[in-house]
Amino acid sequence: AQSVTQLGSHVSVSEGALVLLRCNYSSSVPPYLFWYVQYPNQGLQLLLKYTSAATLVKGINGFEAEFKKSETSFHLTKPSAHMSDAAEYFCAVSEGRTGNQFYFGTGTSLTVIP
């Protein structure tokens, strides 16, 4: 089975600063990796996904993530944080021969300080 580790359950950054949210996965096969975001009182939304087409993946709202096979990592970054980026971020891996089974990390809560 897959496992996903998100380092840092809480991350605080100043408005305009770099956002870096870490995600490491364990997988014996090429993974499909995702980042989802959950805004307060809303369901999760897909930010971006890696499906082996390119190692640097660009998502919505200026976020991007880089797949590094040697480090089994898929860290999420954004050059300049906005107040509206405050949310819970989840890294996920999918597998399943007969259907989707997603493994999610425990989440990282991002706070943006004005």
Partner 1 sequence: KAGVTQTPRYLIKTRGQQVTLSCSPISGHRSVSWYQQTPGQGLQFLFEYFSETQRNKGNFPGRFSGRQFSNSRSEMNVSTLELGDSALYLCASSLTGTALNEKLFFGSGTQLSVL
Note the residues at the interface with partner 1 (CB under 8 A): 6, 9, 32, 36, 41-46, 49, 51, 90, 92, 94-96, 98-107
Q: State the minimum distance, in angstroms, from the CB of residue 103 to partner 1.
A: 7
β 44-50/56-58 pair status: unpaired
Which residue type does 30 have?
A: P
The answer to whether 106 and 98 have CB atoms below 8 angstroms apart is: no
Burial-class residue 109 by CB neighbours within 10 Å (0-12, 13-18, 19+): middle
Nearer to partner 1 among residue 66 and residue 102 (C-beta): 102
**Helices H, strands E: what count in the chain?**
0, 12
Q: Which is nearer to partner 1, 26 or 101 (CB)?
A: 101
Using the minimum distance from each CB to partner 1, give the nearer residue, 31 or 81. 31
Two structure tokens written together for 21:
């949210």
Q: How far is the CB of 34 from partner 1 (least distance, A)?
A: 8
Least distance CB 23 / partner 1 (angstroms): 12
36/63 with CB nearer partner 1: 36
Residue appearing with tokens 């991002």: 110
- Cβ at position 28, least distance to partner 1 in Å: 14
